[in-house]
Amino acid sequence: MKPLSRILRGAALLLGSLALLSGCGGGDSDTTATASTGTLKLSITDAPACGYDNVFITVKEIRVHQSEDAVDGDEGWQTIPVIDAPRRIDLLELTNGVLEELGQTVLPAGKYTQMRLLLADNDDILLANSIVLSDSKNEIPLKTPSGQQSGIKMNVDIMVERNTVADFVLDFDACKSVVKAGSSGQYLLKPVISVIPVITAAGQRIVGYLDAATLGGDTLVSAQDGGVVVKSTVPAADGRFVLYPVVPGTYDVVIVSAAKATAVITGVPVTTTEFTYLGSVTARIPLAPSDTHDATGIVSLDGSVSDTGATVRALQALHNGPTIEVASEAVDASNGVYGFTLPIASPRITAYLGVNPLSVIFPPDSDDPVLTAAGKYRLEASIEGLVPKTADIDLLGGDVATNFGFVTP
């Protein structure tokens, strides 16, 4: 895979928007709240950003409003004071379930449908938002979105109940939020954030153990629902990983690693009452080797490859199993290029084994060369507001180039 292809995994097209899961987090009521108020508490965590040593953002302020159409100057805005604002945060220190509190405030109880995230600008604070590439120690500024002065507008759906603490985590996906701009040496910050309710510290957590001896490079672990990533992380050097917080439900856990066959654990439960363990210290999840081939191409909009905001995903439909996302990335902002290096061996799949399994065995999805998903992928290109385009490819015969052309209606 190209050095940044896994870094830029995901959808930059969601500029300034949040995929928000509504609900009310746990916690004791705030002593300063009244019968008509509640408390909104916000923390931040990070999805993985493989290929960077640091991803810095500087948060100045967060505001919420009960109207999604409210504009600057309207009454009703509520500010969540950010601790030690302006606060410079290295997102890469917040992986594997690590949270950092941003702040909290008492505000009128009710439903809030708009949030504004205000980041400091590099013109105001030297390198307020920046990255450090893993192959270079130079700090590179991130260009922030236009309109940053009033904050990045996000449509949300969050309920603050009376006399309770609504506890939420902003999952800032550094991989999806950083977009390369061709050979210019510039990188763009296009925030992609999901907001996840923290109901309890007793659960909402998947803890797993990979066999460190079988890991490849750029290992990524994700919890997926119907082929959509809801939470992801990179394992520690010893193979341990933590997905937290995860909304209670049942998920497929997908493990991808360079030059390794994709491994899938289906039916993984997440509850509010206990941690979910995958493998153990003594029964670790192994990964099998795999040859790879490249899936590359260009995405254009109305004949132009510049600033399309497109995203491309590589999906795989397992035989008698789920459809999973194996890779995704935002296309290059200047030339529309995307590129994945994908395994061609049969994906490995097993059902959730429960607590303390004696061993973890991943058989191929099928031994039948016709039925197996080995080398077979569906590429899905998306641009906000337009119908996605797909293409089925087979990498068993070698590298494949696939271009997507969109036309504005």
Residue 17 has a pLDDT of 36
Q: Are residues 85 and 228 in the same domain?
A: no
Q: Where is 177: in which H helix or E strand?
A: helix 174-177
Residue 12 has a pLDDT of 35
Q: Are residues 171 and 283 in the same domain?
A: no
CATH of the domain at 352: 2.60.40.10
Residue 20 has a pLDDT of 37
Q: Are residues 234 and 383 in the same domain?
A: yes
| β-strands 400-401, 292-301 pairing | parallel
Residues 7, 12, 18, 19: what is their CA dihedral angle, to the nearest 10 degrees? -80
Q: Are residues 63 and 140 in the same domain?
A: yes
**Tens-digit pLDDT profile for residues 108-128:** 999 999 899 999 988 777 889
Residue 185 has a pLDDT of 81
How many distinct structural domains can be found in the chain? 2
Amino acid at 331: V
Q: Are residues 348 and 399 in the same domain?
A: yes
Closest CA to 228 of 14, 15, 385: 14
Alpha helices for 4-163 (secondary structure H): none
Residue 76 has a pLDDT of 95
Q: Are residues 243 and 162 in the same domain?
A: no
Closest CA to 56 of 82, 87, 90: 90
Task: Please check whether residue 3 lies inside any domain of the structure.
Answer: no
Where is the domain boundary, 164, 197, 230?
197
In the chain, which residues have pLDDT < 70? 1-35, 47-50, 145-148
**Tens-digit pLDDT profile for residues 10-29:** 333 333 333 333 344 444 43
CA distances from 388 to 177, 184, 328, 383, 385 (A): 20, 28, 14, 7, 9
Q: Are residues 130 and 69 in the same domain?
A: yes
Amino acid at 289: P
Task: Please check whether residue 156 lies inside any domain of the structure.
Answer: yes
Task: Please check whether residue 74 lies inside any domain of the structure.
Answer: yes
Where is the domain boundary, 197, 224, 247?
197
d(CA 49, CA 93): 11
Residue 33 has a pLDDT of 54
Q: Which domain holds residue 164?
A: 12-197
Q: Are residues 188 and 217 in the same domain?
A: no
